[in-house]
């Protein structure tokens, strides 16, 4: 008897759930979130003071006058000055790691070869007894570093990621 009641109640619940699903209106579907990719960033203004750019802009046919108090301008300048040497935790790609007799010369040649192939990427050559290390890049996320490491696999087969305090990279 109990089994029959349980079976009937389960059947009624499933039927109620199905009828509720079928009563979804088009307006309810319109309110669901939809993924829209963000527009790509305009990197031509990266690292520039936007107030100076707007004041000197020749992109428009008119003129742009920015009226702001000197307090806002000085606060913005202080913010830039304070954060210019900011360090954050991020990732770098280690392309060389050795402690052999000629590791110093090898690290120099690896750093030179990398600099020739990737001129805009930062190179960090360090010595932590007894290892010479060459680490490259400043990446905010592990994904960015992993993508770059995949590009380097052919040239430097023993690449791996390291989590370090990095220089604040520009948005490019």
Q: What was the pLDDT predicted at 60?
A: 58
Confirm whether 172 is domain-assigned: no
Write out the two tokens for 106.
């090898």
Name the H helices within the chain: 2-22, 26-30, 50-55, 70-83, 103-117, 142-152
- List the beta bridge partners of residue 97: 133
pLDDT value of position 62: 67
- Provide the domain limits for residue 54: 48-83
Are residues 72 and 92 located together in one domain of the fold? Answer: no
Give which of 100, 101, 90 is closest to 143, Cα–Cα: 90
Say yes or no: 91 and 79 in one domain: no
pLDDT-derived band at 44, boundaries 50, 70, 90: low
Residues 53 and 107 in one domain: no
Whole-model pTM: value is 0.54
User: Is residue 34 packed enough to be buried (19+ CB in 10 Å), middle (13-18) or exposed (0-12)?
Assistant: exposed
Q: What is the pLDDT of residues 66-79, one digit of tens each?
A: 777 888 888 888 88
SS3 70: helix
For the chain, what percent of residues have pLDDT higher than 90? 31
- Please tell me whether residues 78 and 141 are part of one structural domain: no
- Among residues 119, 70, 79, 115, the alpha carbon closest in space to that of 96 is found at 115
- One domain, residues 103 and 54: no
- Domain assignment present for residue 13? The answer is no
3-state secondary structure of 65: coil
Domain assignment present for residue 130? The answer is yes
Q: Contact, 108 vs 126, CB < 8 A?
A: no
Helical (H) or strand (E) element with 135? strand 131-139
For residue 28, the model assigns a pLDDT of 46
Judged by average pLDDT, the poorest of 12-21, 22-31, 36-45, 51-60 is 22-31
> Residues 35, 39, 43, 48: what is their CA dihedral angle, to the nearest 10 degrees?
-100
Residues 99 and 144 in one domain: yes
> Phi and psi for 159 in degrees, rounded to 5?
-70, 150
Same domain, 92 and 63: no
């Amino acid at each position: 008897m109990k089994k029959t009641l349980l079976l009937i109640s389960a059947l009624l619940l499933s039927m109620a759930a199905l009828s509720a699903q079928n009563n979804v209106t088009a307006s309810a579907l319109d309110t669901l979130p939809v993924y829209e990719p963000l527009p790509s960033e305009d990197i031509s203004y990266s690292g520039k003071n936007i107030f100076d750019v707007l004041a000197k802009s020749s992109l428009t046919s008119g003129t742009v006058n920015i009226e702001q108090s000197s307090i806002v301008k000085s606060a913005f300048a202080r913010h830039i000055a304070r954060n210019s040497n900011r360090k954050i935790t991020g990732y770098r790609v280690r392309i060389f790691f050795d402690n052999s007799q000629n590791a110093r010369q090898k690290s120099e040649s690896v750093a030179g070869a990398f600099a020739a192939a990737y001129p805009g990427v930062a190179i960090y050559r360090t010595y932590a007894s007894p290892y010479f290390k060459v680490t490259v890049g400043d990446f905010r996320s592990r994904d960015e570093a992993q993508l770059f490491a995949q590009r380097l696999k052919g040239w430097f087969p023993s690449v791996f990621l390291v989590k370090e305090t990095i220089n604040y990279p520009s948005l490019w």
